[in-house]
């Protein structure tokens, strides 16, 4: 898949912008605060998973304006497709494919997929479990909007159940009412777990293989899903085991007014040669793992969709050492993936890479295309 042209109206510091991209590598170069990440963000939004920096829609509307609108001409599945995403003004949020309004914004991912790689991803291994869950959730939602659906329904029930736990302590809610919420929570939790484990089972072999290549066969990466309650082999038993786990911790949950067991508490564990990479991995190894996970995400989307996603690299070139940088670019170019890169300067690139790339200089929300 590929974005051929994009048109922005009142998006962040872009009053109006209309630009054509190249099918290969596109480089956005400019000083800090000029709008490089903003432009990348607008591309990421077109795959329906929200802002890669978790911005709210209202923040992305240009100051003093009423709405933002992003339009793009995309090639997907051999077809030329018109995408549109708008927020604000009279309507709340609206997405269209070829002029047809989508029921849910997340359905954009049926046409366009993006994998974003930013400096925070380099700390995926070291970061909190929440960061690794988010990685998995974003990835699996892109591959299947149904996953995102289950995830958001589950998250809603957890929030409501937490409110209930608070009110239970105040005596405003009965134990029977709590049980009713467990009836809602448990099947969603179990479905989410099943989907996560299935997804991980498909991603893990790619990550292992890619890591093996990056470490030149020296180290072995293992990914393990760590559930907040013991998961029996037999999936048909998950529901009852989860309900039992909820019961076990009921008193503690009431005391802490929070749901303590379930997929919102789980983690993705990463091991190198059998040792926890979070504790024992060097910074270089941790970065290679993060890179492998991202490249595995790209391969996984390709496996599901039959096409590679767009890859957005936000400020990662300067964060990677020259070796990993060249490995990454060569890998993406060899697969003919459309890539968007932000950078403050061009010396991270080889002359022949620059020769093939589309280079856009960005200054205060204005773009000029330049040839090297």
Q: What does the binding site for ligand ADP look like in residue numbers (CB under 6 A)?
A: 12-13, 30, 32-38, 59-63, 342
Query: Is residue 30 within a helix (H) or strand (E), and if so which, with residue range?
Result: none
Within 145-245, strands assigned E span: 221-226
Q: Is 34 annotated as a binding residue?
A: yes
Closest approach of Mg ion to the CB of residue 19, in Å: 18
CA distances from 135 to 125, 132, 235 (A): 11, 5, 24
Q: Is 342 annotated as a binding residue?
A: no
Residue 34 engages Mg ion in binding (rule: CB under 5 A): no
Q: Is 274 annotated as a binding residue?
A: no
- What DSSP character marks residue 119? G
Query: Is residue 168 within a helix (H) or strand (E), and if so which, with residue range?
Result: helix 145-169
Closest approach of Mg ion to the CB of residue 311, in Å: 16
Query: Is residue 343 within a helix (H) or strand (E), and if so which, with residue range?
Result: strand 339-343
Q: Which is nearer to Mg ion, 1 or 43 (CB)?
A: 43
Residue 37 engages Mg ion in binding (rule: CB under 5 A): yes
Q: Is 22 annotated as a binding residue?
A: no
Q: How far apart are CA 337 and CA 111, in angstroms?
A: 16
Beta bridge partners of 72: 6, 83
Q: Is 363 annotated as a binding residue?
A: no
Q: Which is nearer to ligand ADP, 38 or 353 (CB)?
A: 38
Per-residue tokens: 206? 């790619």
Q: How far apart are CA 260 and CA 170, in angstroms?
A: 19
| 56 Cβ contact list (under 8 Å, min separation 6) | none
Residue 215 engages Mg ion in binding (rule: CB under 5 A): no
Residue 264 interacting partner from ligand ADP, Mg ion, none (CB closer than 5 to 8 Å by kind): none
Q: Which is nearer to ligand ADP, 31 or 172 (CB)?
A: 31
The answer to whether 262 and 185 have CB atoms below 8 angstroms apart is: yes
> Tokens 């009852």 appear where?
240
Q: Is 31 annotated as a binding residue?
A: yes
Q: How far apart are CA 135 and CA 122, in angstroms?
A: 12
Closest approach of ligand ADP to the CB of residue 92, in Å: 17
**With contacts defined by CB under 5 A, how many residues of the chain interact with Mg ion?**
1
Residue 109 interacting partner from Mg ion, ligand ADP, none (CB closer than 5 to 8 Å by kind): none
Residue 35 interacting partner from Mg ion, ligand ADP, none (CB closer than 5 to 8 Å by kind): ligand ADP
Closest approach of ligand ADP to the CB of residue 72, in Å: 18
- What DSSP character marks residue 173? S
| 172 Cβ contact list (under 8 Å, min separation 6) | none
Closest approach of Mg ion to the CB of residue 80, in Å: 30
Closest approach of ligand ADP to the CB of residue 350, in Å: 23
Residue 30 interacting partner from Mg ion, ligand ADP, none (CB closer than 5 to 8 Å by kind): ligand ADP
Q: Which residues carry a binding-site annotation for ATP?
A: 30-37
Q: Which residues carry a binding-site annotation?
A: 30-37
């Amino acid at each position: 898949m590929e974005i051929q042209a994009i048109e922005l109206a009142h998006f962040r510091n872009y009053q109006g912008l209309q630009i054509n991209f190249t099918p290969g590598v596109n480089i956005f170069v400019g000083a800090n605060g000029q709008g490089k990440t903003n432009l990348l963000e607008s591309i990421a939004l077109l795959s329906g998973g929200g802002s890669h920096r978790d911005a709210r829609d209202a923040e992305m509307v240009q100051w003093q304006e009423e709405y933002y609108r992003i339009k793009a001409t995309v090639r997907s599945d051999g077809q030329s497709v018109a995408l549109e995403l708008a927020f604000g003004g009279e309507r709340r949020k609206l997405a269209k494919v070829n002029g047809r309004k989508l029921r849910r914004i997340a359905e954009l991912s049926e046409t366009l997929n993006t994998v974003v790689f930013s400096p925070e991803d380099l700390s995926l291994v070291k970061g909190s479990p929440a960061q690794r869950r988010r990685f998995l959730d974003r990835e699996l939602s892109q591959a299947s909007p149904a996953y995102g659906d289950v995830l958001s329904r589950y998250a809603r029930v957890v929030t409501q159940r937490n409110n209930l736990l608070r009110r239970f302590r105040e005596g405003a809610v009965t134990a029977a009412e709590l049980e009713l919420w467990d009836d809602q929570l448990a099947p969603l939790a179990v479905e989410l777990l099943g989907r996560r484990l299935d997804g991980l089972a498909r991603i893990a072999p790619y990550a292992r293989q890619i890591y093996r290549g990056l470490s030149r066969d020296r180290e072995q990466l293992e990914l393990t899903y760590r559930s907040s309650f013991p998961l029996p082999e037999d999936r048909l038993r998950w529901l009852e085991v989860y309900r039992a786990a909820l019961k076990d911790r009921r008193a503690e949950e009431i005391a802490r007014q929070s749901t303590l067991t379930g997929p919102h508490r789980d983690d993705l564990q990463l091991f190198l040669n059998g040792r926890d990479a979070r504790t024992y991995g060097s910074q270089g190894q941790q970065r290679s793992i993060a890179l492998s996970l991202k490249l595995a995400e790209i391969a996984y989307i390709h496996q599901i969709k039959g096409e590679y996603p767009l890859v957005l690299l936000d400020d990662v070139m300067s964060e990677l050492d020259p070796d990993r940088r060249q490995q990454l670019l060569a890998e993406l170019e060899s697969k003919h993936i459309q890539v968007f890169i932000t950078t403050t300067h061009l010396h991270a690139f080889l002359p022949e890479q620059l020769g093939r790339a589309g280079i856009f200089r960005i200054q205060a929300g204005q773009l000029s295309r330049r040839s090297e």
